[in-house]
Amino acid sequence: MRHLAIVGSVLLWAGCGGAATEHETLGDRAYAALQYSDALAEYRLALVQDENDPELLAKVAISALNTGSLSEAADAYRALAALGDGERGTEAADGLERVATVAFELGNSEALTAALSGLRQAAPGRALGSFAGELAREVGDAPPSDESISVLTYAAAAATDARLLDSLMYSIGAALRQLGRCEEAVPVFESLVRRQREPAVVESSRSGLGYCSLAVARRFHGELQQPISAEEWYQRTIRGAMGTVYARQAYLGVGDILFARGDYPGAAQAYESVLFGAEESDSLSRIAAQRLNMLGEAESVIP
């Protein structure tokens, strides 16, 4: 019985191998006849028997590309690149760049992101080639999404011009802000303000930095009830967005934290910073003045 079981297993294995070869052969015939959909179907069946066969992966990838199945093509090329073969790696990088180009032309952001992700791993220096700027502008016209942020990140990695790089980085920060991911956006804006390369980008980044760092500070202060972290984020707002309304609002938050802590001199200094250089009718100034009056009353009852 054991002998029969072994014979059966061998025959089954041989049958599967034969089936894989037959599917690959049928796929080759269909591909030669320009019947790419039929070829892809056969190659898929053959690949089931050995998902790491580089020849089959390459055939699936090119057939998928020719049928417009761009995401499948990108996945197959990424699998081919992962095998680590030098010649196959180059073939995979070439294929991924073709997928990225076609996906860009067709506006297929899912396939584009997959292809660029593969390129970043397989051939970082070729991540976007010469169309980084055009790609970023195309993505910038669409509503922000996780995919658009990924594409902008790859574009920034490929940018060779400093002004283009800063523009791309600002687009990433702005997209993160719109998606409510302010804690991730702040370091992006901070780096742009620190570099001081493009005045328009610097000013927009300073505003974005102020908005986002203040939003994070208020979240720690109110929703999370973590005053120490809130104070750190308020101070980060003050440092990064000095001269903006966000910095004045941050001073107000710092004053409230210090007042609650019993540090009346520190709170008074923070509230006075809100008043510095402001119009008398300014709403923040009125709030700060009220806080100072309240602070004076609190100090007067201290024995």
Q: What is the CATH number of the domain that holds 88?
A: 1.25.40.10
Domain assignment present for 167: no
Given 79, 105, 123, which residue is the final one in a domain?
123
Domain assignment present for 147: no
Over its length of 303 residues, how does the chain's per-residue pLDDT go in tens digits? 433 343 333 334 334 455 778 999 999 999 999 999 999 999 999 999 888 899 999 999 999 999 999 999 999 999 999 987 678 888 998 999 899 888 877 878 788 878 877 877 777 666 555 555 656 666 556 678 887 787 788 778 777 788 888 988 998 999 999 999 999 999 999 999 998 888 999 999 999 999 999 999 999 999 999 999 999 999 999 999 998 999 999 999 999 999 999 999 999 999 999 988 666 668 899 999 999 998 887 766 554
Domain assignment present for 198: no
First-last CA distance in the chain: 100
Given 80, 104, 123, which residue is the final one in a domain?
123
Given 108, 123, 138, which residue is the final one in a domain?
123
**Domain of residue 264, residue span:** 210-303
Sequence-distant (≥ 6) Cβ neighbours of residue 166 within 8 angstroms: 192, 195, 197, 198, 201
Domain assignment present for 185: no
Tally of domains within the chain: 2
Q: Could you give the C-alpha distances from 195 to 59, 157, 295, in angstroms and in order? A: 47, 17, 40
Domain assignment present for 158: no
Domain assignment present for 45: yes
Q: pTM value?
A: 0.66
Q: Which residues of 12-47 are buried (b: 16+ CB within 10 A; e: fewer)?
A: eeeeeeeebeebbebbeebbeeebbebbbbbbbbbb
Domain assignment present for 152: no
